[in-house]
């Protein structure tokens, strides 16, 4: 298993590598199509070139895994090997043919990519979301199966609620996942793109962007601006505790006499709301 994936994967997925007892066949690349469930959207051209040179020198050491389809074969695992083999001028690749359901094919495609640990944050988020939707699992259940923490899963999936252009900035590496998480906290959603552009232009790190967003959230029109009473240190501590428990911004607001108020818990998608409600249900039980 790849480092960092977690011991839960062996119990969750079938092996994404070819078994030594399986029959290896030479299949023409012209008959092979990409996996429709491939979570990877960006392929590192430098890595493909390096793999191409290795194939030219040593051949393909690990067979690709295919599934028979109506028109030839679909790749289950090994798309980068097939791409590199084409560029290396090969006509055929060593392959193992498996009979797989759509669900199994999706699982194996996601597994192979998660094992490599070089998916972009957005690709990883989409892979987690796919598993949750297709396998009817909660974030908590998926985290346990993958050997990941629930906040790790939740923080990635929350990125999917960012505008598409911001997701593209994360995928291209122009901003980091940390920047994306900070932008989720901007209350004026119409300013997200401009704020991201400013972060790139000024070279803001995540902490600096968080400070900028905090400042933007505090700004209100002069005519409606009110003098805020400083929050009690106990209230601040409770907000921090709740924020850590729910993995999302939490605000405790009191009236002038501090005898009434409300607690606001932010969520960024229906799945995020379900996760928070599940935590509340566990607290009651």
pLDDT for res 217 = 87
Give every residue of the chain whose pLDDT is below 70, as ranges.
1-21, 39-42, 112-113, 115-118, 220-230, 283, 285
Same domain, 176 and 276: no
Count how many Cα atoms sit within 13 Å of the Cα of residue 135 in the half-sphere of its side chain: 20
Q: Answer whether 157's CB lies under 8 Å from 130's CB.
A: no
Q: Which of 276, 12, 272, 1 is nearest to 144 (CA)?
A: 12
Q: Answer whether 156's CB lies under 8 Å from 122's CB.
A: no
Count: domains in the chain: 3
The Cα-based distances of 212 to 82, 165, 225, 283 in angstroms read: 46, 20, 19, 35
What is the rounded distance in angstroms from the CA atom of residue 121 to the CA atom of residue 177? Answer: 6
Among 119, 151, 173, the domain boundary falls at 119
pTM: 0.58
In a domain, 280, yes or no: yes
What is the rounded distance in angstroms from the CA atom of residue 69 to the CA atom of residue 89? Answer: 24
Same domain, 19 and 76: yes
Helices (H) and strands (E) in the chain, counts: 13, 7
In a domain, 109, yes or no: yes
What is the rounded distance in angstroms from the CA atom of residue 196 to the CA atom of residue 114? Answer: 28
**Which positions are annotated as active-site residues?**
79
Q: Answer whether 12's CB lies under 8 Å from 106's CB.
A: no
For residue 181, what are the domain limits?
A: 162-219
pLDDT for res 13 = 46
Among 119, 153, 184, the domain boundary falls at 119
In a domain, 233, yes or no: yes
In a domain, 193, yes or no: yes
CATH, residue 192: 1.10.10.2830
In a domain, 155, yes or no: no
In a domain, 259, yes or no: yes
Which residues touch 280 (CB under 8 Å, ≥6 apart)? none
The Cα-based distances of 261 to 233, 251, 256 in angstroms read: 16, 10, 9
Among 201, 219, 237, the domain boundary falls at 219
Taking the CB of residue 5, how many other CB atoms lie within 10 A of it?
Answer: 17
Question: What is the 8-class DSSP label of residue 163?
Answer: -
């Amino acid at each position: 298993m790849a480092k960092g994936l977690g011991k839960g994967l062996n119990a969750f997925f079938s092996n994404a590598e070819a078994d030594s007892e399986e029959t290896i066949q030479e299949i023409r690349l012209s008959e092979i199509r990409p996996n429709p469930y491939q979570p990877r959207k960006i392929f590192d051209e430098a890595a493909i070139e390096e793999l191409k040179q290795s194939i030219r020198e040593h051949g393909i050491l690990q067979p690709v895994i295919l599934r028979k389809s109506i028109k030839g074969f679909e790749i289950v695992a090994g798309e980068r090997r097939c791409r590199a083999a084409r560029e290396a001028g090969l006509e055929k690749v060593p392959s193992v043919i498996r009979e797989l359901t759509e669900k199994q094919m999706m699982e194996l495609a996601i597994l192979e990519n998660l094992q490599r640990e070089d998916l972009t944050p957005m690709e990883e988020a989409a892979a987690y979301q796919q598993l949750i939707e297709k396998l009817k699992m909660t974030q908590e259940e998926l985290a346990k199966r993958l050997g990941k923490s629930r906040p790790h899963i939740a923080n990635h999936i929350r990125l999917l609620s960012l505008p598409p252009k911001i997701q593209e900035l994360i995928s291209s590496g122009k901003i980091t996942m940390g920047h994306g998480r900070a932008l989720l906290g901007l209350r004026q959603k119409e300013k997200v793109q401009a704020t991201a552009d400013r972060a790139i232009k000024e070279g803001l790190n995540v902490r600096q962007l968080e400070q900028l967003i905090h400042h933007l959230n505090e700004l209100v029109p002069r005519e409606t601006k009110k003098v805020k009473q400083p929050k009690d240190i106990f209230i601040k501590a409770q907000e921090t505790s709740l924020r850590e428990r729910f993995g999302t911004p939490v605000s405790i607001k009191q009236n002038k006499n501090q005898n009434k108020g409300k607690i606001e818990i932010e969520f960024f998608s229906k799945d995020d709301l379900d996760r928070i409600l599940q935590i509340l249900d566990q607290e009651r039980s």
